[in-house]
Amino acid sequence: MSNQSSLVRIISAVVLVSITSPLAKSQVTDQVGQTNNESELTGLSTFSNGVAAYVYGYPLVMFGLTERIAITVPSAGVKLGGAPLNQFGKEPGLPDSSFTDVVLPSTTTLYASAFINLKAEPIILHIPNITDRFFLLQMLDGWTNVSDKSPGSRLGSKEGDYALVGPDWTGTLPSGISPGNVIQMDTNSMWIIGRIYTKGTADDIALVKDQIYPTLTLTPLSAYHKHYKPPANLPLDPSIETVTSPLDQVAGMDACAFFGTLAAMMKYNPSLPADTAVAQKLADIGILPNQSFDCITLRAKQRIELAALQLAVVAARARLQVPPGLPQAKTNFWLMPLDVGTYGTNYLLRAQVAVNAFGANNPIDAVYGYGTLDGRGLPLNGSNSYAIHFNPKTAAGNAGEIPPVNPNAFWSVTIYNQDGTLVANNVVSYNAIGIPQVQGHSACLNPDNSLDLYLQPTAPSGGTPFCNWLPIPQGDPFIVFLRMYWPDNAVLAGRWVPPPIQRVR
């Protein structure tokens, strides 16, 4: 009877915790305060700590599964975005409408992605001479925090060798690596998401592949200055699931699988120094440093705690399905987060971003605008036609102007189907328009240097409108995605927001 009563109380808490009002929180507190039964108190405590642990650990678990899928390939280049551990997977060309491996794929940059483990030793990154185009080597730790030393055009990163060093290593680096080229990571697991701007023409893509890719390399410290050749034709573990997406794999985990994976990942990537409070919550449910999560004992002896953890997973998942609160009215119904990439102890935001935009950049390097509503707040649909009018750019970067980015960077607007794939059409060969040229296509400014983009299922009549036509799917919902790399302070301070997407007749 006591166990049943505990479960009823826990289920009530699940409902209440999903409501964020102070009244709901006080009701949960009252429930716990009225509980005298030791079993009930244990169950409620386990539930509360389980919710906190799930939210805290979700990004690390997502990181682990994403890494496992990406590195389960025999050689680099076999699968787009995939490469063995400590190797780059380099994108050979831009995606088209047939590409479905990644949602919202970029048609403005070529990607070079690498998952790295720094537990055994540092890895030496060589950056070639990239001075004629924007580039960014975004570096994330296992908790998805972005390093403020991520090399790229904004930091003026020069050609040379850079040492990637994990938290456990205590050796000496070669004298040839300058102190300014040492990038200290908070975790042993890290992910490099390299983006290299391309005009999108065949010649420019070939230039990246022939002149940049060959010397963008990763070398273990023990092989530095030796004739190192990355291993290839590696055997694969057939038990590893590589078809189901990481998002769906995590969604299918019960408490034992999730917390077991979290505990295993934390052996290489322990809690950060700022995480003392949540580390105690982890310990209370059985996630201890350098130990496996013991779900067998929970199943055999403490069923009330296991049931509480299962319910905690359900409650936490429901909470993470709520996107981060963003001021849509101030952004003309665009979603444009400016507080991602570095999270501190804001574990809820970090987990919500991992669900909705895993691998998000620091805004100082890139800001994305996500549009599914027009200027009246109505859903975008290919049964209609739309336009976006950008005012001429000024030094102030006022709202509604052409996106203000550094002259050495770029911005673009891309159209996607509702599922995040590129829109197919038989008229033009591009899905994006921006400045400078993207996908081999240049935007056409008006005589006053303003810009009008036309979002229509069929081409407008000839002239400038046709130059700035972005095809949308006939009769279906769609997404408008704005990318701004190296944005001006007007964007970062919230003074600049995109103009509304206006429905036109």
- Distance from C-alpha of 77 to C-alpha of 49, rounded to nearest angstrom: 42
Torsion, Cα 355 360 362 364, to 10 degrees, reads -120
What confidence score (pLDDT) does residue 89 get?
95
Question: pLDDT of the chain along its 505 residues, tens only?
Answer: 455 455 545 555 554 555 444 444 444 444 444 445 555 556 688 889 999 999 999 999 999 999 999 999 999 988 877 899 999 999 999 988 887 767 788 999 999 999 999 999 999 999 999 999 999 999 999 999 999 999 999 999 999 999 999 999 999 999 889 999 999 999 999 999 999 999 999 999 999 999 999 999 999 999 998 989 999 999 998 888 888 888 899 999 999 999 999 999 999 899 999 999 999 999 989 898 889 988 877 766 566 778 888 999 999 999 898 766 555 667 899 989 898 999 999 999 999 989 888 899 999 999 999 999 999 999 999 999 999 999 999 999 999 999 999 999 999 999 999 988 999 988 898 999 999 999 999 999 999 999 999 999 998 876 667 899 999 999 999 999 999 999 999 999 999 999 999 999 7
Asked whether this chain's domains 78-223 and 328-504 adopt the same fold, the reply is no
What confidence score (pLDDT) does residue 326 get?
55
- 3-class SS of residue 401: strand
Torsion, Cα 315 320 324 329, to 10 degrees, reads -80
CA 40 vs CA 23, 304, 308: distances in Å: 22, 8, 10
* DSSP H helices in 398-482: 464-467
What confidence score (pLDDT) does residue 328 get?
60
CATH class of 328-504: mainly beta
Residue 150 has φ and ψ, to the nearest 5°, of -60, 115
What confidence score (pLDDT) does residue 403 get?
97
Q: Burial letters for 464-488: b for 16+ Cβ neighbours within 10 Å, e otherwise?
A: bbebbbbbbbeeeebbbbbbbbbbb
What is the C-alpha radius of gyration for the chain, rounded to an integer number of angstroms? Answer: 25
- 3-class SS of residue 294: coil
What confidence score (pLDDT) does residue 212 get?
97
Residue 64 has φ and ψ, to the nearest 5°, of -60, -45
Torsion, Cα 29 31 32 38, to 10 degrees, reads 180
In this prediction the pTM is: 0.89
Place of tokens 């039964």: 37
Give me the residue spans of the domains in the chain: 2-64+251-320, 78-223, 328-504
CATH topology of domain 78-223: Immunoglobulin-like (2.60.40)
Contact 94, 102 (CB under 8 A): no
